[in-house]
């Protein structure tokens, strides 16, 4: 039978113990996944060695090997290297997740020891208010639910970045390796074809370089630190309009150069990114109107767009359980900053309104 806590300190201690146990279990699960992934990586590494042996044999008999066999060998090489890069990325991610959870676990363990050493009837040794409602001048206590929401928000963001990295730069680098190997094998046998392949490789490298630059800008634009939120959003909207061919109208209310707390600028920029990507990829919008208001003590963005009903889409995403495609991770991050996300959908179009406390610039 579960014991009932007799005071707030015991209730908090029980919550922390429960979360500590859950994290310990999750760490064990991640370690099992790490072990399995390491086995798969070793298997794919050995397969890659075997494929390279086949490629060397192919090079020695390039003129006599049937075209279909050449295609099969290079297809197998591409598949193996792609899967190897994917598994290595997954292994690295899981190892990072385990390290992060171990850090949280150590924090929870210290919190448990602190709570166990505090006299009953007090929290962190602070004096109690006259009403008995809460201690005076005590530091804020991070609740169990807040810790969980932080972990979930971070995990959702990591999943999205891992997916973007795998589908973009990682896949392009794999293709570079194969194209370079093809060029190397063609130099002695067919110099003209080798020159053509090198030209294709150069074009692909230039395209990928631009994609990597865009990826870095999306990840952390340096101009956000230098110039602030409004110029960064303006540049991002221009790039979004050009690449997506979706007419996007940006309306700025307030001073162009106003600076607010860095965490508020970053969060609002991320919010604008996610909402525009949502309008493009999920709702299939044909036009977007975005208003960014920096006049008050809060930052407010309002995005209006057509396409699929956002409320119906969010309900389907929640039912599927794969929140990485929805707006729920964004809502969690904004609410952690005491902000809000409101979603309106219907036949007349969709609106996503985000409000974040501005704070004070550094």
Q: What is the DSSP letter of 360?
A: -
Does the pLDDT of residue 263 top 70, yes or no? yes
Residue of 156, 177, 169, 151 lying closest to 89 (CA atoms): 169
Can you name the residues that pair with 303 across neighbouring β-strands? 290, 352
Determine the pLDDT at residue 119.
43
Q: Domain 223-357 adopts which CATH fold?
A: Heat Shock Protein 90 (3.30.565)
Query: In sequence order, which residues have a C-beta less than 8 Å from that of residue 198 and are 6 or more positions away?
Result: 183
SS3 helix, strand, coil % of the chain, rounded to 5? 65, 10, 25
Residues 140-153 have pLDDT tens digits of 444 445 555 555 55
Query: In sequence order, which residues have a C-beta less than 8 Å from that of residue 334 and are 6 or more positions away?
Result: 267, 271, 340, 341, 354, 355, 356
Question: Which of the two residues, 4 and 171, has the higher pLDDT score?
Answer: 171
Confidence of residue 237 (pLDDT cuts 50, 70, 90): very high
Asked if 47 and 80 touch (Cβ cutoff 8 Å), the reply is yes
Confidence of residue 356 (pLDDT cuts 50, 70, 90): very high
Asked if 84 and 45 touch (Cβ cutoff 8 Å), the reply is yes
pTM of the model: 0.49
* Residue ranges covered by each domain of the chain: 8-118+146-218, 223-357
Which sign does the torsion angle of CA 82, 86, 92, 95 carry? negative
Determine the pLDDT at residue 322.
58
Residue of 48, 156, 143, 51 lying closest to 97 (CA atoms): 156
Asked if 324 and 282 touch (Cβ cutoff 8 Å), the reply is no
Distance separating the N- and C-terminal Cα atoms of the chain? 52
Asked if 101 and 24 touch (Cβ cutoff 8 Å), the reply is no
Query: In sequence order, which residues have a C-beta less than 8 Å from that of residue 238 and are 6 or more positions away?
Result: none
Confidence of residue 124 (pLDDT cuts 50, 70, 90): very low
d(CA 302, CA 311): 16
Rounded to the nearest 10°, the torsion over CA 157, 160, 166, 172 is -100
Range of lowest pLDDT (171-180, 219-228, 249-258):
171-180
Host H or E run for residue 44? helix 8-60
């Amino acid at each position: 039978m579960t014991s009932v806590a007799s005071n707030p300190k015991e209730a908090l201690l029980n919550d922390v113990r429960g979360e500590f146990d859950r994290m310990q279990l999750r760490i064990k699960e991640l370690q099992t996944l790490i072990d399995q992934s390491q086995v798969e990586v070793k298997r794919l590494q050995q397969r890659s060695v075997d494929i390279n042996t086949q490629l060397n044999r192919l090079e020695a008999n390039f003129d006599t090997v049937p075209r279909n066999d050449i295609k099969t060998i290079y297809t197998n090489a591409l598949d193996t290297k792609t899967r190897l890069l994917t598994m290595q990325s997954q292994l690295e991610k899981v190892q990072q997740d385990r390290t992060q959870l171990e850090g949280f676990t150590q924090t929870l363990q210290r919190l448990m020891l602190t709570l166990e050493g505090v006299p009953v009837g007090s929290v962190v040794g602070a004096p109690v208010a006259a009403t008995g409602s809460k201690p005076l001048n005590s530091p804020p206590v991070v609740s169990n639910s807040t810790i969980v929401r932080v972990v979930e928000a971070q995990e959702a963001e990591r999943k999205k970045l891992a997916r973007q990295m795998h589908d973009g730069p990682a896949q392009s680098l794999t293709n570079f390796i194969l194209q370079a190997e093809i060029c190397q094998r063609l130099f002695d046998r067919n110099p003209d074809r080798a020159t053509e392949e090198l030209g294709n490789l150069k074009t692909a490298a230039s395209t990928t370089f631009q994609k990597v630059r865009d990826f870095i800008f999306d990840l952390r634009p340096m101009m956000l630190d230098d110039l602030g939120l409004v110029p960064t959003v303006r540049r991002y909207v221009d790039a979004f309009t050009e690449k997506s061919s979706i007419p996007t109208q940006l309306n700025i209310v307030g001073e162009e150069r106003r600076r607010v707390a860095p965490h508020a600028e970053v969060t609002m920029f991320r919010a604008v990114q996610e909402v525009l990507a949502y309008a493009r990829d999920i709702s299939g919008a044909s036009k977007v109107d975005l208003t960014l208001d920096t006049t008050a003590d809060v930052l407010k963005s309002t995005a209006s767009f057509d396409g699929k009903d956002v409320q119906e889409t969010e309900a389907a995403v929640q039912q599927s359980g794969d929140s990485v495609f929805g707006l729920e991770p964004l809502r969690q991050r904004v609410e952690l900053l005491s902000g809000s996300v409101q979603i309106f959908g219907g036949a007349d179009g969709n609106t996503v309104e985000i409000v974040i406390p501005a704070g004070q610039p550094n």
